[in-house]
Amino acid sequence: MSNGVNFLHSHSGIERELHFPKNIVLVDEKYEDLFIKDLCKPFPYKRKKYIKVPISEFIRKGGLFKNMYE
């Protein structure tokens, strides 16, 4: 989880490091309720909980792209 960041954001640093496809965005698990359940896939990484969501839904919900690693 991102300490001190309280808005929907991506973790593009992790996405890039793990070679995520361009149509998927990694977000903190706490934002799961913003998305349709069937579109979310759990993604634990380095003892933290994230979800993978389609980039189109992320943009639709007003998410901001950040170069975050945690």
Looking at the DSSP assignment, which residues form a beta bridge with residue 9? 64
| Residue 53 forms part of a structural domain | yes
The Cα angle at residue 59 between residues 3 and 49, in degrees rounded to 5: 35
What is the 3-state secondary structure of the chain? CCCCCCCCECCHHHHHHCCCCCCEEEEEHHHHHHCCHHHCEEEEECCEEEEEEEHHHHHHCCCECCCCCC
Domain count for the chain, please give it.
Answer: 1
Q: Which residue range is the domain that position 37 belongs to? A: 24-70
| Residue 13 forms part of a structural domain | no
| Residue 12 forms part of a structural domain | no
| Residue 55 forms part of a structural domain | yes
Could you tell me the pTM of the whole model?
0.85
| Residue 51 forms part of a structural domain | yes
| Residue 61 forms part of a structural domain | yes
Predicted confidence pLDDT, tens digits, the chain (70 residues) = 566 778 999 999 999 999 999 999 999 999 999 999 999 999 999 999 999 999 999 999 999 988 767 6
